[in-house]
Structure 1
């Protein structure tokens, strides 16, 4: 390139010198200098016109022939064009492979574009699971074909970490989990997976647990009643069997607590939405729970501190909220050493309303925190059973918060203690509460 520029410089210099010599011969050097500039300018305009025509012509048009800088320019554009064509062929081949891969997926895949989520492309499973038909459904907004208000709302607000479960539009027996993944500007990839079998197995599990729990409740009640009758302190026979009777009474009570928690979990899982919404008196509830916690503390003499904010208002199901909050506070009692501190705070900020429970217990190793809300999961199995825990408390907390649009956060430092937050959005469930109140008023 530098050599071509140098040649062009000498070419222009030679032209000017020749034209000046001719000009001096004819006694008009300025006139011939202007002619030289015009010739040079016309040469550039001519090659520029050839370059534009080359760009406009079909791809098989031969490269214009020129010398000097224009020859180098044509050649560089030609190389750039070849590289772009090669890259385009690679991208086209890759796109075809991707589409063939998506077409072979066992899940329904739909490419959407635009603000109205028009269908650009879909695979064969989208025809089976979503009932889409080619080519008539292409360029149609997908909300015209999948007519669920919850699905339309999900398209507007969903992100790649969210999903929605809905019934297949063309087959009510199929249950689908739908994800939306944004990509390439204003495009989205919709993935719909058939989870019918998983949902049925999950329903069978819930039904089994609920049925077994119901079946266990009656015999446990009978056993507890007979144990209470037999355990008479004035009966000499009962005094001889005092230790076994006490152990049987304790284990029966523990089994009844597990059954009650399993039944509560089963109900929370089966009821997706709240049927009853009321204004929860959280402050009075927390005072009652803290008094019960102090009694539960007994000889351990924990120091329980409660702080409340009257401006923090919560709407929801009172008994469910009480169950969640009491589980967190009673857990702090169980896992905090003697004379430890337990701080309970109910407050409001810009993000929402929160319950914070902080203890000075042994703390939880980081690897256990993600699994704490699993059923029967315990960090220290022997210690948990000795303290009377069922292993279901945090699972109940998670399900209660999900039903109230809340979230559970956990932070813990081994050797220093743990903090649990129940975070609720501002005015969560308030609209439903006002709607129910309006229905009551009309009645």
Structure 2
């Protein structure tokens, strides 16, 4: 199966289990229709600098006018040069951007002063190709850490954008930023607002090194709505906590994580505190959650997409602690892979999470099958549990029994293939 066909298969699988808000309409993509993807004012192009292979490994998305911008970044203290540069550009440009450039195959992390110069060169070359200022370009990279960029080849490749029309599809752009991903991740929706329709589109990459703060990934979102940068930043940050910061594959947070959004202002005006602001935010959170779940679905070696749902915690913060502990437990994740209803591993993770726990009150269910009841009573059908755990997707719910706090984190199983993929990642 081709990577693009696998993307459509993943899209259909997640769509079947996604409840979109009534005012949000996902675009029904089919092969050959991807160019409907971009909101008004945005265009994209891809090219190859042969960083690791001969496939496209550089993506540029441009806006035909200054766009409000916001971004959230990794909290890893060994963050990469493009992260530092993009933060600086957001500060110096008053959060007004004209383009995003991203390369795959090389993270430009742990590369010192040269790495910063190379990131600056990416911005300068992109700006020259598009006729904008370097400070109006966000820069991102993903791939191997500790290796300098082949910046001369990359400069020539980026310079080629000046000689062509940017007319790449969302699928093209998503494929150009992949590393170990097995399929490109993209989604576009139309949002019904009070005065008309706005489009919101997003692409993402991620498969391994996925863990909250932020989950290791790149995500780029684009809308033709008109939104003030400060409001856009608040929306992105809040939606990020319940989407890209609510997934885990392997417990490793990268040096290059970034989620950014550009708003061209070519369609509906969205004011702070308005009904439209609430509608747009719910659409943004839904799109980011969909992309986040695609990342977990594509977890390196993953065969299961599992939602860890905590209810009845003393607070939402406690629920989040418990959910992350269960979702990130290697023992729980290997039990998922082996389709073993080992509820002891689940409650052990809850117990060490830092959340307030009364062990005698815990309830554990797999979908609707009760596995553990309060008082450590466990009487369930192993056969029925095995059927659920054999499914490609299911929900594990833990009821804490001591409050109203709740949280969800999406995770995947841990397989032998994960070790094989990461044992020789640099080759």
Q: TM-score range by the shorter chain?
A: under 0.3
Which structure has the bigger radius of gyration? 1
- Give the TM-score, by structure 2 length: 0.22
Structure that is richer in helix per residue: 1
Q: TM-score, normalised by structure 1?
A: 0.22
Whose relative contact order is higher, 1 or 2, with alpha carbons under 8 Å and at least 6 apart?
Answer: 2
